[in-house]
Amino acid sequence: MHPVMKYVSTRGGPLVTLEAAIMGGTAPDGGLYVPETLPSFGPGAIPAGEFPAVATTLLEPFFAGSTLASQLPAMSADALNFPVPLRALEHDGDGGLSVLELFHGPTAAFKDVGARFLAAAMARIAGATPGGPPATILVATSGDTGGAVAAAFHRRPGLRVVVLFPAGRVSPRQQHQLTCWGDNVTSLAVEGSFDDCQRIVKEAFADQALAARHRLCSANSINVGRLLPQAAYYAHASLAHHAATGQASSFIVPTGNLGNAFACVWARRLGMPIERIILATNANTTIEDFLATGQWLPRPAVATLASAMDVGNPSNMERLRALAGDAAGVRAEVDAVSVSDDVIRATLVDEYRRHGIAWCPHTATALHAYRELPADERHGRHWVAVATAHAAKFDTIVEPLLGITVPPPPALAELLALPSRFDTIPASLGALAERL
């Protein structure tokens, strides 16, 4: 039996239940919820196995004492029902390069893992308190989150979804899967950047009357219910490799809002066989600059080919700084490498030449970071580049570069055949409130 787990804001404040942390999204003081304590798993405590089983064992301490504890195995089985394969690409002595493919879910992006698990949790919490207006899942997206959340929550009773995305700043296929749902899903193009979308969402949650009237909930990576299952795929991959070889793994994670990378840091803190963690960013260098200077200086986002990483003020740095302390503490946890659009293009071409595989622009940032490692850091260590989306979602970028057609996987093809519908609003809380 695990002790009851409570959650607390990164800025302090009272302890709350897991259910309150999930349905609240952000804490009333504007902070982000984290577990009161992080459990630790000793060697062999979690056997390598199927993804849902690993996730259930890893997450049990986080659900202890909640109304969801007994339902965790069913939630994992329902939500995590697609493969997350670790694909070996190259061997280098005792090490080499693998790719963790996180794009085999319904919307062909890693966000499917967190969104489907969060939907399974929220549906059970909402179902336990029937009646009243539906809870409104308010989500800002730089490309993939909104589609994954819409797919995960579509037609779930007692829940509606409002997706905000930056007009003209997501790929055509990303936009289509943000806007093809209808029913309980409303899609809004915001005249601004992702940071504008994220700002409006935070302002909506801070408006207590608005938040109460619409029962606002968050499904961004600011929601702890999304981060927890993401830590599970790092556990699954590292445990599988360790069971086969006795080796730990090091991860290179493409990152924008820092949720995916922070989940990897959490997995290592929990005792998983993970060594180094490198963050791959694009031309939005807020994180890299912080590591270099010790100064946290958010700035407006710059549009790049890796559009889902176009974030100038990454929310989850608050969690990382709460966990690690000052800049020196953060540097002890992660390194960062920024990658320009020109290098993304060159890397997509080079990796296709090497292996005949088309990757997405975000995955290319991680692969470039691997290629740039000094030989003594590559040799003898198992490196994992995290593949966050299927290349077919970025066909207008990838296909001309490689001179090939990248067919969408079947689930994505079904979505692309549906009609699209959305409205455009100014980048203001008033405009969103009117639509709500």
pLDDT in tens, 283-329: 999 999 999 999 999 999 899 999 889 999 999 999 999 999 999 99
DSSP run (H or E) holding 205:
helix 194-206
Where does the pLDDT of residue 200 fall: very low under 50, low under 70, confident under 90, or very high at 90 and above? very high
- Please, what's the largest Cα pairwise distance for the chain? 61
Tell me what pLDDT residue 30 has.
86
Angle between the 395-402 and 341-355 helix axes, to the nearest 10 degrees?
60
Cα–Cα distance between 282 and 292 in angstroms, integer? 16
Tell me what pLDDT residue 146 has.
82
Tell me what pLDDT residue 389 has.
95
pLDDT at 379 over 90: no
Higher pLDDT, 277 or 301: 277
Please compute Rg for the chain using Cα positions: 20
Locate 412 and state its tokens: 């994505």
Tell me what pLDDT residue 171 has.
84
Tell me what pLDDT residue 91 has.
87
Tell me what pLDDT residue 130 has.
61
Tell me what pLDDT residue 20 has.
93
pLDDT at 221 over 80: no
Provide the CATH topology of domain 83-110+225-408: Rossmann fold (3.40.50)
Q: Which residues contact 199 (CB under 8 A, 6 or more apart)?
A: 427
Cα–Cα distance between 304 and 287 in angstroms, integer? 16
Tell me what pLDDT residue 126 has.
79
CA angle 386, 10, 76 (to 5 degrees): 45
Higher pLDDT, 195 or 432: 432
Mean pLDDT of 267-275: 98
pLDDT at 432 over 80: yes
- The arrangement of strands across the sheet holding 159-166 comes to 216-218, 135-140, 159-166, 185-191, 423-426
Tell me what pLDDT residue 195 has.
86
The chain-wide mean pLDDT, for the chain, equals: 93
Tell me what pLDDT residue 274 has.
98
| pLDDT tens string 92-124 | 777 899 999 999 999 899 999 999 999 999 988
Where does the pLDDT of residue 25 fall: very low under 50, low under 70, confident under 90, or very high at 90 and above? confident
pLDDT at 223 over 80: yes
Tell me what pLDDT residue 128 has.
62
When mean pLDDT is compared across 170-184, 284-298, 380-394, the lowest value belongs to: 170-184
Number of residues written out for the chain: 436
Higher pLDDT, 410 or 127: 410
Higher pLDDT, 125 or 54: 54
pLDDT at 72 over 80: yes
| pLDDT tens string 232-270 | 999 999 999 999 999 999 999 999 999 999 999 999 999
